[in-house]
């Protein structure tokens, strides 16, 4: 299996939209699509790891495929709005590191061996 950088993923999605998808949906339509796809991820997780039980229509859903759907729509939104996801993610990780440098280590709820 090949790997993609975020920049390559953004280009591949853009190429796919232009070659197969005709054009991008509007940003608001893509927002609705994103919410729908996140809901599908939530459905799988609530049944697999939560207290919900599977209905026949829920079976054979693939978490990896649904997460890829979420990523695809996020990439579409980034492309439409001129966001470089690579740069944005690096800035975001730096921000989280500055803000949370000791927060999680000092959180007793996250200490190893804590089963609660």
Q: Residue 116 above 80 pLDDT?
A: no
In a domain, 98, yes or no: no
User: For 49-70, how does the pLDDT look when each residue is reduced to its tens digit (9 = 90+)?
Assistant: 999 888 887 778 899 999 999 9
Q: What is the pLDDT of residue 18?
A: 96
Cα 53 to Cα 50: distance, rounded to the nearest angstrom = 8
User: For 12-51, how does the pLDDT look when each residue is reduced to its tens digit (9 = 90+)?
Assistant: 999 999 999 999 999 999 999 999 999 999 999 999 999 9
Q: Which domain holds residue 29?
A: 6-84
Across the range 92-98, mean pLDDT stands at 95
In a domain, 105, yes or no: no
Q: What is the pLDDT of residue 59?
A: 76
Cα 101 to Cα 99: distance, rounded to the nearest angstrom = 6
pTM for the model stands at: 0.86
Name the more confident of 56 and 72.
72
Rg of the chain in Å (alpha carbons): 18
3-state per-residue secondary structure call for 29-89 = HHHHHHHHHHHHHHHHHHHHCCCCCCCHHHCCCCHHHHHHHHHHHHHHHHHHHCCCHHHHH
In a domain, 106, yes or no: no
Tally the domains of the chain.
Answer: 1
CATH number of the domain at 19, please.
1.10.287.1080
In a domain, 11, yes or no: yes
Of the candidates 35, 18, 29, 21, the residue with the CA atom closest to the CA atom of residue 69: 35
């Amino acid at each position: 299996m090949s790997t993609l950088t975020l920049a390559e993923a953004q280009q591949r999605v853009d190429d796919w939209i232009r070659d197969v998808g005709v054009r991008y949906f509007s940003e608001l339509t893509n927002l609705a699509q994103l919410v729908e796809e996140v809901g599908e991820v939530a459905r799988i997780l609530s049944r697999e790891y939560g207290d919900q039980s599977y209905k026949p229509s829920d079976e054979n859903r693939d978490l990896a495929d649904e997460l890829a759907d979420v990523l695809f729509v996020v990439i579409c939104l980034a492309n439409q709005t001129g966001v470089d996801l690579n740069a944005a993610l690096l800035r975001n990780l730096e921000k989280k590191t500055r803000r949370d440098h000791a927060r999680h280590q000092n959180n007793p709820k996250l200490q190893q061996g804590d089963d609660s």
